């Protein structure tokens, strides 16, 4: 009962914040204030994470120090999925509630999500060669991650191909929402099909990683998550400014034509 | 497993960290540069409007 009340009050607070930030001017003011703090926190956590990963984490009894690849592969892969989930939610916000910053948030997250997905695939592949004996297999987890990369690239192509923001936003939002079906496929691919990829090690039923390996992993995950928030806010600010510049240029052309 | 054996695939580990370092730095610089460029453009347009 208490948990439900806490969850409801948290959701109400989040809703208030989203409504407050619906005004681009207010968003610019708010993001300018919090960005230096977030940048500092992200740098500190990432430096501490790298220190733990390189100098403190022991080697795995089977993988040796190759386990260090996991400290970057796992945060990249989980963030790649979380960023897509954020894009899908923002796209719903844009399609249904026409939130003025929803399509800005969705568009700004695309290159970051694409780079993280690409890095998850490459680091996984570089881990796979010494551990599995191959860089790539057409396995359900790997293939669905590759599909995620193509979804990111497809959405970026839509934004580039259509000049009108509202039309591009609508087309990208529809594809993003439809593409969200890929997220449960990625998540449960290791359960539904026979896969070379190992199942999740952090589950509600328990954690199967030793604390010495889990701690650097979680610190790196937090560092990359903070970095994503910084990059996303910066990219959103750039997009808001770009639209202002375009609107001003358009007004100048209209005035000149009069 | 000895410490020496544990580092058997060191080249793969270094390759991963270098790749992530390179791409994440490039992405960060690109996004920061883009924001600064748009800000500059906006200021220039604002100044031109003021003059007119």
User: B2 contacts in A (CB within 8 Å)?
Assistant: none
Tell me which chain A residues have a C-beta less than 8 angstroms from the C-beta of B34.
235, 238
Q: What is the mean pLDDT of residues A221-244?
A: 96
Whether A144 shows a pLDDT value over 90: the answer reads: yes
Mean pLDDT check: name the lowest of A55-59, A106-110, B27-31: A55-59
Confidence band of A13 (pLDDT split at 50, 70, 90)? confident
Q: Of B8, B9, B19, which has the smallest distance from its Cβ to A122's Cβ?
A: B19
Among B35, B50, B46, B37, residue whose Cα is nearest residue A247: B46
**pTM, rounded to two decimals:** 0.90
pLDDT of residue A1: 60
Identify the pLDDT of residue B39.
92
| pLDDT score of A107 | 95
* Nearest in space to A129 (alpha carbons), one of A222, A196, A189, A193: A196
Of the two residues A189 and A81, the one the predictor is more confident about is: A81
Which residue of A lies nearest to B28 if distances are taken between CA atoms? A231
Please tell me the distance from the alpha carbon of residue A248 to that of residue B51, in angstroms, as a whole number. 15
pLDDT for A216 equals 94
B8, B23, B41 member nearest A119 (Cβ): B23
Specify the higher pLDDT residue, A159 or A60: A159
For B31, the closest chain A residue by CA position comes to A235
Residue of B nearest to A76 (CA): B20
pLDDT over 70 (residue A91): yes
Determine the average pLDDT of the residues in A121-148.
92
Predicted pLDDT of residue B17: 95
Q: Is it the case that residue A250 has pLDDT exceeding 80?
A: yes
> Across the interface, do B27 and A119 touch by the CB < 8 Å criterion?
no
User: Pick from A119, A130, A252: which is nearest to B20 by CB?
Assistant: A119
Q: Do B49 and A248 touch (CB under 8 A)?
A: yes
* B35: nearest Cα among A231, A226, A24, A106: A231
Q: Which residues lie closer than 8 Å to A67 by C-beta, 6 or more apart? A: A57, A59, A60, A213
Plot region of A210 (φ>0 → left; ψ -120 to 50 → alpha; else → beta): beta
Please give the Cα distance from A151 to A232 (Å, whole number).
18
Q: How confident is the model at residue A11 (pLDDT cuts 50, 70, 90)?
A: confident
pLDDT given for residue B23 in this prediction: 97
Average confidence (pLDDT) over B21-45: 95
A234, pLDDT greater than 80: yes
Q: How do residues A14-67 score in pLDDT, each as one tens digit?
A: 778 777 777 888 889 999 999 999 999 999 999 999 999 999 888 887 888 889
Mean pLDDT of chain A: 90
pLDDT band at A131 (very low <50, low <70, confident <90, very high): confident
Q: Is the pLDDT of residue A75 over 90?
A: yes
Query: In this complex, do B16 and A69 lie within 8 Å of one another by their Cβ atoms?
Result: yes
- The ipTM assigned to this model is 0.91
């Amino acid at each position: 009962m208490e948990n439900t009340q806490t969850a409801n009050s948290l959701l109400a607070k989040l809703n208030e914040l989203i409504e407050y930030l619906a005004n681009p001017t207010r968003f610019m003011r708010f993001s300018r204030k919090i960005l230096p703090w977030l940048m500092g926190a992200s740098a500190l956590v990432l430096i501490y994470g790298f220190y733990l990963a390189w100098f403190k984490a022991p080697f795995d009894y089977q993988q040796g120090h190759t386990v260090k690849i996991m400290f970057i592969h796992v945060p990249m892969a989980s963030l790649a999925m979380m960023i897509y989930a954020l894009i899908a939610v923002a796209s719903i916000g844009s399609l249904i509630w026409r939130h003025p910053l929803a399509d800005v948030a969705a568009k700004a997250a695309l290159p970051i999500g694409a780079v993280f997905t690409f890095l998850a695939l490459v680091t996984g592949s570089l881990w796979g060669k010494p551990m599995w004996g191959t860089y790539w297999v057409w396995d359900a987890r790997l293939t669905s991650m590759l599909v995620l990369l193509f979804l990111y690239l497809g959405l970026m192509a839509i934004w580039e191909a259509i000049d009108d923001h509202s039309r591009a936003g609508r087309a990208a939002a529809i594809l993003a929402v439809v593409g969200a079906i890929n997220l449960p496929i990625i998540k449960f691919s290791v359960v539904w099909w026979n896969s070379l990829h190992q199942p999740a090690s952090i589950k509600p039923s328990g954690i199967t990683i030793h604390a010495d390996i889990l701690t650097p992993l979680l610190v790196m995950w937090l560092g990359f998550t903070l970095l994503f928030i910084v990059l996303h806010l910066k990219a959103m600010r750039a997009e808001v400014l770009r639209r202002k510049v375009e609107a001003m240029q358009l007004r100048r052309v209209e005035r000149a034509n009069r | 497993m000895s410490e020496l054996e544990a580092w058997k695939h060191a080249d793969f580990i270094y390759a991963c960290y270098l790749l992530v370092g390179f791409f994440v730095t490039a992405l960060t610089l690109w996004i920061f540069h883009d924001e600064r460029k748009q800000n500059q453009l906006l200021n220039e347009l604002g100044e031109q409007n003021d003059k007119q």
